[in-house]
Amino acid sequence: MRSKDWFSFLAQSAARRVGSSYAFITCCVITGVWLLTGPIFHWSDTWQLIINTLTNIVSLLMLFLIQNTQNREMTATQLKLDEIIRSLQGAHNVFLNLEDLGEEDLERIRERYSELALRARQRAQLGHKDTGTPTVEIELPEGFAARCSPTRPT
């Protein structure tokens, strides 16, 4: 098993376990035991250091676990959206794998869609339909303009 596969398996397994009610109850019990032992240890610095160290270690490990889980879920969601775009007749295929574009390119495309939404709202206020597939022109990062209009059956 490759190290990437091993880590992915470990992260998925840990995420399932850590996200369970049993993990929450375990944390509550550990905290309760720690609080109950406070008077025994006279609320000492060592007593406080134990819980601080434990929570810092768990928090650091959880950071990587959560990030791995979010990355995997985000990738799966993007692939599902790409499949929907690919399979819909009339969808703009230039938007496949859009998440790989830079911030400036994404912002430029977002601005184009904001303009489209504003025009649709203005038309809706005048009583016009807000449905349809208007043409949207965007400039792709490679520097050439692409005309994104859905293909209509002839």
DSSP secondary structure string for all residues of 104-120 = HHHHHHHHHHHHHHHHH
Q: How many CA atoms lie within 13 A of 119 on its CB side?
A: 12
Per-residue model confidence (pLDDT) at position 33: 95
First-residue to last-residue Cα distance in the chain: 52
pLDDT in the model for residue 144: 39
Please report how many Cα atoms fall inside a 13 Å half-sphere around the Cα of residue 31, on the Cβ side.
8
pLDDT value of residue 50: 94
> How confident is the prediction along the chain (154 residues), in pLDDT tens digits per residue?
676 788 888 888 888 899 899 999 999 999 999 999 999 999 999 999 999 999 999 999 999 999 988 998 999 999 999 899 888 887 778 788 888 888 888 898 889 889 888 988 999 999 988 787 777 776 666 643 454 545 444 3
* Three-class secondary structure of residue 134 per DSSP: coil
And the tokens for 87? 């399979």
In degrees rounded to 5, what are phi and psi of residue 147?
Answer: -95, 115
